[in-house]
Amino acid sequence: MDQPVERSPNAHRGFRVQAPLVDSVSCYCRVDSGLKTVAGARKFVPGSKLCIQPDINPHAQKRKISRRERSRFQPPLLPGLPDDLAIACLIRVPRVEHNKLRLVCKRWHRLLAGNFFFSLRKSLGMAEEWVYVIKRDRDGRIAWHAFDPTYQLWRPLPPVPGEYSEALGFGCAVLSGCHLYLFGGKDPLKGCTGRVIFYSARTNKWHRAPHMLRKRHLFGCCVINNCLYVAGGECEGIQSTLRSAEVYDPNKNRWNFIADMSTAMVPFIGVVYNGKWFLKGLGPHREVLSEAYIPESNVWTPISDGMIAGWRNPSISMNGMLYALDCHDGCKLRVYDEATNSWNRFIDSKLHLGSSRALEAAALVPLNGKLCIIRNNMSISIVDVSSPNKQLESNPHLWENIAGKGPFRTLFTNLWSSIAGRSGLKSHILHCQVLQA
């Protein structure tokens, strides 16, 4: 005997029975309705996504997948290879292509944003060094550029955050080899600041760090044992010239005060040499002062010897030697001789560019074991200082120009720089640093 058919209590009211839910987890087709691949499918499956053969499950619910399950079933970095071999392939990709690698998938993005990938490149000698130049343009705004010495090309970078777009007297340093910090300075409208931001060469993004304990600008800064030291400078107030100093430890992500300087100072040159931080600057009455900080004992000591007397900006300590320029265009170098406590002539390129501000050497940085000279017109020269006894005439590769190469470009650049220098060119380099990735 046939059983009576049970009818919905709302059937006589003209209500339609709700269609069963579609379990999207088991749906592998995901045909876009805009393509209209399946004729008439949109009439029966609502929504913008269509499925040719979905599993109908009226009690479909999304189940949370644990992190362990995701790591167990996640796709390989490279199909057909275990992850360790895939990483061995990816770390050999040139640095210029890393931004593209981050866009491939989430796993590649996480890999390149972490410490393991770049630590492995560094330990295997595959990390590449780029020169980062922070410059003030003619309109007074801050711009920056990265130079790739492998391909000898300038690479684009994300813009400097707005709070530093017109800053004055701010500091710049590199921690952990890949983080470029900008800190302190003075805003034309808001005044002196103690803010700190940093750019990561691993993520190609800007990040924030804790503020300094004291607002300041036109101060001295250095890096010792991967800790950032700042001292002196100026701020608003009755005693505008500062004696205070502080240190930032990136591992603890915290600033701490260190011993005050002997006298207040606005440093205009500084270098770390033989484990000491040497500073030279102007005191409250515009007198020239010099001090050295010893991190082990946390004390400042005044100094006045042959090193300070012949010390010129820019300078650099490299491989236990202290170098400085002997001319404005950076074509002559001097080295400090600790035995005689004097500066000696070291090397001359025999090719001098000019005396305009555009051709003036703005910074000395170490690059791939050589000394790198950067000028205001963005031209770069490399000097091999590993063998100081070599003669330039017998070894033409001792001094090499790697940016602004070519006779036409060099002639045009020098001509324009001379004209711009006579007309009071305002564009100049503020800071230069080298980052690894």
Q: SS3 for 162?
A: helix
| Strand, coil or helix: 172 | strand
In a domain, 7, yes or no: no
Q: pLDDT tens-digit profile of 396-408?
A: 457 788 876 433 3
Q: Are residues 284 and 349 in the same domain?
A: no
Could you tell me if 56 and 88 lie in one domain?
no
Residue 306: name the closest of 340, 330, 273, 276 by CA: 340
Q: Are residues 166 and 185 in the same domain?
A: yes
Domain presence at residue 384: yes
Tell me, what's the pLDDT at 72?
63
Query: Using one digit for the tens of pLDDT, what is the confidence trace for 196-253?
Result: 999 999 889 999 999 999 999 999 999 999 999 999 999 987 678 999 999 999 999 9
pLDDT over 70 percentage in the chain: 75
- Do 197 and 291 fall into the same domain? yes
Say what the pTM is: 0.78
Residue pair 330/375 in contact by the 8 Å Cβ criterion: yes
* Residues 17/8, Cβ–Cβ less than 8 Å: yes
Shared domain for 357 and 223, answered yes or no, is no
Is 328 or 257 the better-scoring residue by pLDDT?
Answer: 257
Whether residue 258 is contained in a domain is answered as yes
Q: What is the CATH number of the domain that holds 269?
A: 2.120.10.80
Domain of residue 104 covers: 74-123
List the CATH number of the domain containing 92.
1.20.1280.50
pLDDT band (50, 70, 90) for residue 180? very high
SS (H, E, C) 48-112: CEECCCCCECCCCCCCCCCHHHHHHHCCCCCCCCCHHHHHHHHCCCCHHHHHHHHCCCHHHHHHH
Q: Are residues 284 and 149 in the same domain?
A: no
132, 164: one domain:
no
User: In the listed set 262, 288, 304, which residue is the last one of a domain according to the structure?
Assistant: 304
Task: Using the CB atoms, write b or e for 308-328: b if 16+ within 10 Å.
Answer: beebeebbbbeeebbbbbbbb
Look up tokens 């090193």; give the residue: 307
Indicate the residue among 304, 321, 353 that finishes a domain: 304
Pair 195, 141 in one domain: no
- Alpha-carbon gap, residue 167 to 187, rounded angstroms: 5
Question: Which of 98-112, 250-264, 350-364 has the highest mean predicted lDDT (pLDDT)?
Answer: 250-264
What average pLDDT does the structure give for the chain?
81
Q: Could you tell me if 248 and 362 lie in one domain?
A: no
Count of domains for the chain: 4
Is residue 207 within 8 Å of residue 158, measured between CB atoms? no
Tell me, yes or no, whether 342 and 422 share the same domain.
Answer: yes
Rounded-to-integer distance, Cα 410 and Cα 404, Å: 6
What is residue 169's predicted lDDT score, i.e. its pLDDT? Answer: 96
Amino acid identity at 74: Q
Q: Both 168 and 279 in a single domain?
A: yes
**What is the four-CA torsion angle of 34, 39, 44, 46, rounded to 10 degrees?**
0
Residue 278 lies inside a defined structural domain of this protein? yes
Q: What is the mean pLDDT of residues 249-272?
A: 96
Q: Is residue 318 part of a domain?
A: no
Q: Is residue 109 a part of any domain in this protein?
A: yes
Which pLDDT value is given to residue 356? Answer: 83
Residue 122 per-residue DSSP state: H
The single residue listed with the structure tokens 């009211």 is 13
- Domain shared by 152 and 165, yes or no: no
Distance CA 325, CA 291 (A): 21
Angle between helices 106-113 and 115-123 (to 10 degrees): 60
Q: Average pLDDT of 50-54?
A: 40
Q: Is residue 11 part of a domain?
A: no
Residue 92 domain flag: yes
- CB burial class (10 A; 0-12, 13-18, 19+) of residue 53? exposed
Q: How far apart are CA 334 and CA 355, in angstroms?
A: 18
